[in-house]
Amino acid sequence: MNNRRYITMSENRISAGFPSPAESYAECRLDLNEYLIPNPASTFFVRVEGESMSDYGINTGDLLIVDKSLPVFNGSIVIAALNGEFTVKSFYSRNGRIELYPGNKSYSMIEVTAEDDFEVWGIVIHCIKSFSMCQK
């Protein structure tokens, strides 16, 4: 049995500048699972706590969609385990060194050393924000 719930999506784009008249009222069906989760078996969600990635638009309360199957490349925003603690940072590997960069100038870069227990758990593919007054 298919338990997917399709949500109606307008095919019009919304102006973020000056209002424009709607060109048409055509609609299509959108399955958020298909749109946001290309690899369901390797995808997980995590809620953000902290402001170290705020310049990337990732803030406390945001829900990140993370794919474990994607390859890590320089500039990837990753969920990583470092010495038993989870973090979200921008990943770089240079000259055999791994560096994790925050997206907030108030925080410092983290250099991963050979002594560290380090593992990339996945690549952040989407950030879901809630603009309601009552976030859960």
Active-site residue set:
52, 89
CA distance 14 to 104: 29
Query: CB within 8 A of 130, min separation 6: which ones?
Result: 61, 63
3-state class (DSSP) for residue 102: coil
CA distance 67 to 102: 20
CA distance 44 to 66: 5
In the structure encoding, which two tokens stand for residue 120, read together? 């990339």
* 72-to-4, 11, 77 alpha-carbon distances in Å: 31, 33, 9
In sequence order, which ranges of the chain are alpha helices (DSSP H)? 32-36
